[in-house]
Chain A
Amino acid sequence: MKKFRFLVGFGLKKRIAKKSFIISNLIIGILIIGIINLPSIISVFSDDTDEVEDINISIINQTNDNEYPLASNVIQTLNTSQENYNFMSKNSDFTDEDEFWNQEELDVLIVFNGDLKQPNVIVYALEESHRDMLLTPIQLVLYDYQDIGYANYDIKTPPVTGEDPGMSEEDRAFIDGIGSLLFLPVFFLVIMATQFLGVDIIEEKSSKAIETIIASVPAKTHFLSKIAASLSFLLIQSSVLIGFGLLAVIVSNVFASSSNIEGISLFAELANRIPNWGGLLTFSLLFMFFGTLLFLILAALLAAISTTQEDYQQFQAPLIFLLLGSYYLTIFLPILGADGLLKVFAYIPFFSMMVAPLAFVTGNISLLGIIISLLITIFTVGLVLYIIAPVYRVAILSYDHTKFFKRIKFYMKKAFSKN
């Protein structure tokens, strides 16, 4: 155990106590903070050149006082109170709600009916962001008419079809896009960890130092220590990146408090858009841990089989393609609306590392489903470890130059034969 801890520490120190690690992380940190705060930074240095958005609006007065210039008053008040919008009156003659939701020429339709002193106001707006800003100006106009009572507002939303009622198009797009957002760093971190692990093992093997090392510690200890060191490195690197992300949010909020720019409330935004974001985060971390472990075990085997750096670069290509494939699935399956495939890949080890959390958050698999998927991944880790550890023991001291599959076959035979 002492030697195992020493090997993990040595491997970790070799990666972390290096100028290259510190400098690259400083650069990444500056980039993260810079990119997240880019809109704020640009707005500080730019003139107030916010574009004004045109909104076509139709106001129908069906109240008892249809002589009152309700439409012109509301539009005037809206244009006065909302600087970034230009409300333009447009006639409409819709016969039912669906007709409004299925057209694009009119953005907002407001229908007043009943007693104008306390009217019923029905608001139809195609964009969610338009709905909330309408109410205060309307209420101001109604106060002008008679300074008593409140209107009864009925804010209509478009009818929703599909399996996720209640989720707006924008939220759906946000969740669909989470694949590329959340799993891009995971993808790069796992690639980095497998590279480091492979290079570390092959450096010891190609220099023949491995023989001196394996003469002092069992091959199994060496194997597990390399994986543990890479996994620890990954955790440290992830923590550093998360730290930079949080720092970027803090910087953004400092910007916001010192100017009229809107800050970033990351967790509030996540909670608003993803109903089970806590679950997503927990399962993403668990899948990242066990999924990475799976990739690292295979990377260790490939490095042990290799005799040179070139060999390893060649052998690890399928592993990288597998990882790249998982990442692309998280991007393209939601775009293509391939929910069936999303469900299937969520249960397949290697792919499930990234696909399962996405399938869970998009409602394609249930809580039980994602737990089953996690258990499948953990079982696969155990199985792969059981098969690969003895093969690693044989391969790490061998300098066979035959073809890949012949080598694998030979090592497998040797690892599991009883002489």
Chain B
Amino acid sequence: MLKVNNVELKYGNFVAVKNLSFTIKPGEIFGLLGTNGAGKTTTFRVIMGLLEPSKGEVLFFDDQVGYHNVDEIGYMIEERSLLTKITVKELLMYFGQLKSMDKELINERLDYWLDYFNITEYKNKLIKELSKGNQQKIQFISAIINDPKLLVLDEPFSGLDPINTDLFVKTIRKFQEEGKMIVFSSHQLDHVESFCERIVVLEKGQAIIEGEINQVKKDFKKLTINIKANLDLDYLKTIPGVYKVINNSDKISVKIESEAYIDGVFEYVKSCDNVTLFDVEQASLSEIFIERVGGKREEV
């Protein structure tokens, strides 16, 4: 279990992370979200013991995170962090031995993962000769080569095509099934929504949303009603609780403040012709994120 307890990190007077707390249980995938500069990478560095918190603590199975237990953690940083002038084998031997692994074991696991990601033929190629996608795979292998109990992934899907993204998702799911803890950040909120049970959204180093995704959505209250019918859009906008109407090509999306306003919209739609769709759905994580973080979607 990983426990982040009231962690605060200051750079002089600047507070990079403020009173952050969360817990990750074995077999759980945890999402750490936020805009650029919100404090995600700093939080990962604190988890990895690279930065010492000004306050609070990080416990890994009830023990302080440090170099005595860091071999049980896998870490993949946001940007590609590979030594490009050496071969794939040399690099993974290097990173593996830094995790106190024997050469034979590294070689065995390296062969397995290269085969898993269909890149066996690159084993003795220089890193710089690999495509960006394949470099990303090598970086991912470097994070999992030690079979970690905790996997920290900072933007693991960055720069990947849909096929390789799917492969990464499957691998992360595999790790989850094996009971490992996974904490990751991503700007692709659909992925977060699809396999995270719990999230923390950071803004300026502070958690502004936290908890289980379903609960976060419930707490958000705002709903979307998708309608297919002959409607008067101007009238629709005047119904109490409706704050936005979007005319899509195939349907009309009506945003309402809470479920208390569903009946009002429904009463009007009932009176219209050719009604083929009336579907109420919770706000997506993306909507919640944009709404709460301040409409900076393009930065995300």
A217 is an interface residue with CB less than 8 A from chain B: yes
Asked if residues B98 and A3 are in contact (CB atoms below 8 Å), the reply is: yes
Q: Is chain A's binding surface mostly helix, strand, loop or mixed?
A: helix
Listed stretches B67-75, B188-196, B261-269; interface member: B67-75
Least CB separation from B71: chain A residue: A216
Question: Could you give, for residues 1-40 of chain B, a 1 whenever the CB lies within 8 Å of some chain A CB and a 0 otherwise?
Answer: 0000000001110000000000000000000000000000
B84 at the interface (CB under 8 A from A): yes
Smallest Cβ-Cβ distance to A218: which chain B residue: B67
CB distance from A417 to the nearest CB of B (A): 8
Quick check: A203 and B98 within 8 Å, CB to CB? no
A212 touching B100 by the CB < 8 A rule? no
Is B82 part of the binding interface, using a Cβ–Cβ cutoff of 8 Å? yes
Q: Does B224 contact A (CB under 8 A)?
A: no
- Cα–Cα, bound, A414→B75 (Å): 25
The yes or no answer to A6 lying at the interface (CB within 8 A) is: yes
Note all chain B residues with C-beta closer than 8 A to A210.
81
Query: What's the nearest-Cβ distance from chain A to residue B68, in Å?
Result: 11
Q: Quick one: which of A62-93 are within 8 Å of B by CB? A: none
Known A215-B70, A217-B67; contact A203-B99, beta-carbon cutoff 8 A: no
Tell me whether A208 is interfacial, beta carbon within 8 Å: yes
Q: Does B54 contact A (CB under 8 A)?
A: yes
A387 at interface by CB-CB < 8 Å: no
A208 to B12, CA, bound (A): 24
Determine if B48 and A203 form an interchain contact, defined as CB atoms under 8 angstroms apart: no
Q: Do A207 and B84 form a contact, CB below 8 Å, given A10-B94, A215-B75, A216-B71?
A: yes
B residues less than 8 Å from A10 (CB atoms): 94, 97
Does B77 count as interface, using CB distance less than 8 angstroms?
yes
Q: Which of B12, B83, B97 contacts A209 (CB 8 A)?
A: B83
Residue B95 CB within 8 A of the other chain: yes
CB proximity of B256 to chain A, nearest CB, Å: 46
Q: Is B85 an interface residue (CB 8 A)?
A: yes
Interface of B is mostly: loop
Q: How far is the CB of A204 from chain B (nearest CB, A)?
A: 7
Interface residues in B, total, Cβ within 8 A: 31
> Does B79 count as interface, using CB distance less than 8 angstroms?
yes
State whether the Cβ of A19 lies closer than 8 Å to any Cβ in chain B. no
Given A3-B100, A6-B98, A217-B98, is A212 in contact with B81 using a C-beta cutoff of 8 Å? yes
A262 within 8 A of partner (CB) = no
A413: chain B residues within 8 A (beta carbon): 12
Instruction: Verify A212–B142 contact, CB threshold 8 A.
Output: yes
Contact of A212 among B10, B51, B75, B84 (CB under 8 A): B75
> A211–B81 contact, CB under 8 A?
yes
Please state if A209 and B81 are interface contacts (CB–CB under 8 Å): yes
B80 lies within 8 A of chain A by Cβ: yes
Q: Report the separation of the CA atoms of residues A111 and B71 in the bound assembly, to the nearest whole angstrom.
A: 89
Identify which of B11, B50, B75, B80 gathers the most chain A CB atoms within 10 Å of its CB: B50
B233 to chain A, nearest CB (A): 51
Q: How many angstroms between the C-alpha atoms of A203 and B83 in the bound complex?
A: 7
One of B45, B54, B83, B95 near A216 (C-beta < 8 A): B95
B66: min CB distance to chain A, Å: 9
Q: Contact: B50 with A208, CB < 8 Å?
A: no
Chain A residues, Cβ within 8 Å of B51: 397
CB proximity of A354 to chain B, nearest CB, Å: 34
Task: List, in ascending order, chain A residues with CB within 8 A of B71's CB.
Answer: 216
Indicate the member of A209, A210, A397, A419 with the most B CB atoms within 10 Å. Answer: A209
- Once bound together, how far apart are the Cα atoms of A203 and B86, in whole Å? 12
Bound together, the chains give a CA A88 to CA B116 distance in angstroms of: 94
Instruction: Assess the A203–B85 pair: CB atoms within 8 A.
Output: yes
Q: Which residues of A contact B95 (CB under 8 A)?
A: 212-213, 216
Q: Specify which chain B residues have a CB less than 8 angstroms from the CB of A209 in the assembled complex.
A: 81-83
Q: A217 to B48, alpha carbons, bound, how many Å?
A: 11
Given the complex of chains A and B, what is the CA–CA distance between A211 and B76 in angstroms? 9
**B81, A207: Cβ atoms under 8 Å?**
yes
Residues B82 and A2 in contact, CB atoms below 8 Å apart: no
B95-150: which residues lie under 8 A (CB-CB) from chain A? Answer: 95, 97-100, 142
Nearest B residue to A219, CB-CB: B50
Give the nearest-CB partner of B51 in chain A. A397
- Is there contact, CB below 8 Å, between B50 and A214? yes
Tell me if A216 and B81 are in contact (CB < 8 A). no
Bound CA–CA A210/B45 (angstroms): 13
Q: Cβ of B12: which chain A residues have Cβ within 8 Å of it?
A: 413
Question: How far is it, in angstroms, between the C-alpha of A210 and the C-alpha of B82 when the chains are bound?
Answer: 9
Kindly identify which residue among A203, A212, A218, A419 contacts B77, using a CB–CB cutoff of 8 Å: A212
Given A3-B100, A212-B142, A218-B67, answer yes or no on A207-B54 (Cβ-Cβ < 8 Å): no
Q: Are A208 and B98 in contact (CB under 8 A)?
A: no
Chain B, Cβ-Cβ closest to A418: B54
Picked from A2, A7, A211, the residue with its CB within 8 Å of the CB of B50 is: A211
Say how far A410's CB is from chain B's closest CB, in angstroms: 9
When the two chains form their complex, are residues A397 and B100 in contact, meaning their CB atoms are under 8 A apart?
A: no
> Which of B49, B77, B81 lies at the interface centre, i.e. has the most chain A CB atoms within 10 A of its CB?
B81
Quick check: A207 and B50 within 8 Å, CB to CB? Answer: no
In the complex, A2→B71 CA distance in Å? 13
Tell me which of B75, B83, B100 has the highest count of chain A C-beta atoms within 10 A of its own C-beta.
Answer: B83
A216 touches B70 (CB 8 A): yes
In the complex, the answer to whether A215 meets B85 with C-beta atoms within 8 Å is no
23 contacts between A and B (CB under 8 A): A3-B98, A6-B98, A10-B94, A10-B97, A14-B86, A207-B84, A208-B79, A208-B80, A208-B81, A209-B83, A211-B45, A212-B77, A212-B98, A212-B142, A213-B98, A215-B75, A216-B67, A216-B70, A216-B99, A217-B67, A217-B98, A413-B12, A419-B54
Give 7 closest A-B pairs by Cβ, nearest first: A208-B81, A216-B98, A419-B54, A209-B81, A215-B75, A215-B48, A211-B77
Residues of A at the B interface (CB closer than 8 Å) are: 2-3, 6-7, 10, 14, 203-204, 207-218, 397, 413-414, 419
